[in-house]
Amino acid sequence: MDNSAKVACSGVCPVKPQFAYVDNATGNLNPYLQLATQFGWANSMFQTNQGPSFPAHQYLFGATSAPSAAADQVGTFAAENMSGKGVGVGCIASATRQVQLVDAAGVESPTNKIFPCFEHNTVADLLQPRNITWRYYASGANSIWTAPNAIQHICVANGTACTGPDWTANVDLNSKHVLTDIAKCSLRQVSWVIPTGQNSDHASTNTGGGPAWVASIVNALGTSWASSNHKCDYWGNNSNDATAILIVWDDWGGWYDHKPPVTLAAPQGGYQLGFRVPFIFVSAYTPVQFVDNNRHDFGSIVRFIEHNFGIQEGALTFADARANTDLTTFFDLRQPPRPFSSVAAKVGASFFLLDKTPPTDPDDD
């Protein structure tokens, strides 16, 4: 990790070496820089899992990648993406598909694999009994980023399709619909918004649309009062409600970082925590250029949702119970809400709404 920049290549250096640092010569990342400097930045946000996208999104949706609540408590987690012959992800995968497990000692035994359909409570199960609405915007039912497809009671698999009532009512398989829902003032109280592969920031396999995609959502929320003819105010300048926008990446992408991961206590320490990831907190009550140096992880995001809706923090008893923070440091409610300033980007919401390019799976690692 340290001294990566000092390693010299032998012989002829490659024209396009392995990614290590982000090049912003074109200004493509400027929307992220504007958001990070104008709102809140977490200097120590760690992905909870040590590994790829499938388990990471399980943590973001349900605070664990374990197959069950009992498996979580003994430190057994899904550690990788799908493997084996066949197609599909989660409960609608081919019967021959499996996911690698890791045990409390951090060992991934070749024989310790299971079918990737899990059964435990998620954040959605905390929200629904309290009549708190939710929606999961995704790029496809069979994506490794579509976390609800691996939760049995939400998916209710019928062959190659999820058919459960929670899935039908709350999972939208066209991520750009978040923009139309904002425009129609029909955004749910809690939303997970997953990009297409083109806009995913996944190194070498995206079209560079990620920063503008994020900016389009932030701008739609920030200008909702005017654009909806005063029917809704998601920013919160003219109402008592304000939207918190949590921008996070599911893993570190292989980029260089000098700060090593933090290991949790046994038994979860065999798989937690992973590398640092960027995290930007945007709201009308977040101070300008606010930097938080507390150690956060994906469980902190779940704790924030719990705190915001009056649910006991740690109610799932998974990563939300093991996290030490709930992100409330990013709010200063003693100050009046900040007026919204649009985020400059190369393209806006209309570009994404009119884009007819077939969505790709965000990534395969």
* Confidence band of 6 (pLDDT split at 50, 70, 90): low
pLDDT tens string 89-114:
999 999 999 999 999 999 999 999 99
Higher pLDDT, 239 or 7: 239
Task: Answer yes or no: is 203 within a domain.
Answer: yes
DSSP string, 29-79: THHHHHHHHHSEEETTEE-SSSS-HHHHHHHHHHS--SSBHHHHHTT-EEE
d(CA 257, CA 235): 34
Question: Average pLDDT of the chain?
Answer: 93
List, in sequence order, every residue forming a beta bridge with 171; answer none if it has no partner.
136
Tell me which DSSP letter residue 83 carries. E
pLDDT tens string 193-237:
999 989 988 876 778 899 999 999 999 999 999 999 999 999 998
Q: What is the tally of structural domains in the chain?
A: 1
pLDDT at 254 over 90: no
219, amino acid identity: N
Residue reference for tokens 């039908």: 168
SS3 10: coil
pLDDT tens string 41-89:
999 999 999 989 999 999 999 999 999 999 999 999 999 999 999 999 9
Task: Answer yes or no: is 156 within a domain.
Answer: yes
DSSP string, 187-224: --SEEEE---GGGS--TTSS-S-HHHHHHHHHHHHHTH
CB under 8 Å to 144, separation ≥6 — which residues?
52, 53, 54, 57, 81, 82, 89, 361, 362, 363, 364
Tell me which DSSP letter residue 181 carries. H
CA-based nearest residue to 321, from 279, 272, 278: 272
Task: Answer yes or no: is 276 within a domain.
Answer: yes
Return the pLDDT at 281: 98
Task: Answer yes or no: is 96 within a domain.
Answer: no
CA-based nearest residue to 298, from 349, 234, 249, 355: 249
Return the pLDDT at 1: 56
d(CA 266, CA 74): 9
Task: Answer yes or no: is 152 within a domain.
Answer: yes
Question: Model pTM?
Answer: 0.94
d(CA 268, CA 201): 29
Edge-to-edge order in the sheet of strand 279-282: 245-248, 279-282, 40-42, 290-292
Average pLDDT over residues 245-273: 92
Q: 4 to each of 51, 98, 261, 276, 346, how far by Cα in Å?
A: 21, 35, 16, 17, 32
SS3 96: coil
Return the pLDDT at 53: 94
Return the pLDDT at 365: 56
Q: H or E segment at 166?
A: helix 165-170
Percent of the chain with pLDDT over 90: 82
Give the tokens for residue 33.
């820089």
pLDDT tens string 141-185:
999 999 999 999 999 999 999 999 999 999 999 999 999 999 999
Boundaries of domain holding 212: 30-63+121-354
pLDDT at 17 over 60: no
Task: Answer yes or no: is 16 within a domain.
Answer: no
Return the pLDDT at 193: 98
> At 211, which CATH number?
3.40.720
